[in-house]
Amino acid sequence: MISSYRWMIVALGGLMGCVAIGAMFSLAVFIGPISAATGWSRAGIASAMTLDFLVMGLAGFGWGMVSDRVGPRPVVLSGAILLGAGLWIASRATSPLMLQLGFGVLVGGACGAFIAPVVATVTGWFDTQRALAVSLVSAGMGMAPLTMSPLVAWLVSHYDWRTAMAAIAWLAWAVLIPVALLMRGAPAARAATPSAAPIAPGQAPPRVGPALRSVQFVVLGGTFFLCCAAHSGPLFHFVSYAIGCGLPIMAAVSVYSVEGLAGLGGRLLFGIAADRLGVKPVLIAGLLVQAVAIQGYLFASRQGEFYLLGVVFGTAYSGVMPLYAVLAREYFDQRIMGTVYGAAIMLSSLGMALGPVVGGWVFDTYHDYRWLYLGSTAVAVAAAAVACAFPPFNRAEPRAAVA
């Protein structure tokens, strides 16, 4: 029963991530209709997405701490209620500030409940095939642009944006609340690894402070931050860059979609490879491939070349993302996994928030994206270099915090 239900946890995590992240990224579809209907600036509307990333990172840390104490079910249930509320408030917005509060603060805060706590829970259910399990959850999140975005596009083409956003709010409640009630923390019986064993008499429980100051976390957080800072700019500005290189707008958008599709396969490919070859070498290899792909865009001129690079880039940047959770679980005790991984997610969100604004500044200053791609390549190489500093796993001792 336990063995079979752990895959149910994976399926639940992937579904919740798909709906929650899809709802957040639906703002890209709503921007045009909101601006046309209200006259608000697109910059003011889009700033809600920047808030989403920043608040999601901070909230993920907080939700992770709560999940370590009370378990995942109350956390994801609260996130489900908050997500629908944020979307509903945003659908009633009468000013950009109200939209930013609802969609930027509340939705971002809600989405934080579906990343670190869910992934931390999944890692606790698996002693083997852990990388594959986390990759499958991540693949569910990666399905969001392929499922939620088309649904939102259909809604806004048939109804006004307020009705469409309210419908997404009700959908979030209808799907996520029942699913959240099925979530369970890893049972105490899963004590096959030393870190999952009960606390022995006289043994202090793992402490968060020493864990966040440890070499393991510094390397983990630094690599995660640099990785996301490297690909966020090229991702956000890719369509504009490709159009500037001579691609028609529909071709540029199709390459962007290819990156997303390749990412689904990349998550599974890297997850299986990590289970067989080890997490650290697969992560470093993926980071180096990401750097090569980013650099390659500078030399692409034909549509076929962009498609090829889109496959490589999408596979690499998406494939490495689940591996950070697996590494966190290898180094740290499951009892503080939500907090530790939440802190890592917070750092990665800061990296993601940098790309759009830095890329915009580069283009406004130099009227060219070349320096963005050169700088992103350097940051990607730096991420691989930092990842080389991961210390070896100590299988003989519990993976508790290192003072």
DSSP state of 299: G
Reported as a single tens digit per residue, the pLDDT across 314-327 is 999 988 988 998 89
Asked if residue 44 and residue 86 are part of one domain, the reply reads yes
Confidence of residue 365 (pLDDT cuts 50, 70, 90): confident
Average pLDDT over the chain, rounded to an integer: 85
CA 286 to chain CA mean position, Å: 16
Burial of 187 (0-12, 13-18, 19+ CB in 10 A): middle
pLDDT class of 195 with cuts at 50, 70, 90: very low
CATH at residue 245: 1.20.1250.20
Q: How far apart, in whole angstroms, are the C-alpha atoms of residue 196 and residue 192?
A: 7
CA angle, 31 then 36 then 40, to 5°:
70
**30-39, 84-93, 250-259, 314-323: range with highest mean pLDDT:** 84-93
> Which range in 56-60, 85-89, 120-124 is most confidently predicted, on average pLDDT?
85-89
pLDDT of residue 368: 84
246 with 362, same domain? yes
Structural domain includes residue 401 = no
Domain shared by 216 and 169, yes or no: no
Q: Is 196 within a domain? A: no
Q: How confident is the model at residue 400 (pLDDT cuts 50, 70, 90)?
A: very low
Same domain for 171 and 215, yes or no, is no
Number of domains in the chain: 2
Tell me, yes or no, whether 231 and 356 share the same domain. yes
User: How far apart, in whole angstroms, are the C-alpha atoms of residue 29 and residue 49?
Assistant: 12
Q: Which helix (H) or strand (E) covers residue 37, if one does?
A: helix 27-38
Q: Please report whether residue 246 resides in a domain.
A: yes
The domain in which residue 60 lies consists of: 2-180
User: Is 394 a domain residue?
Assistant: no
Q: What is the pLDDT of residue 221?
A: 93
Give the angle subtended at the CA of 236 by the CAs of 320 and 142, to the nearest 5°.
45
Domain identity same for 41 and 79 = yes
122 and 62 fall within a common domain: yes
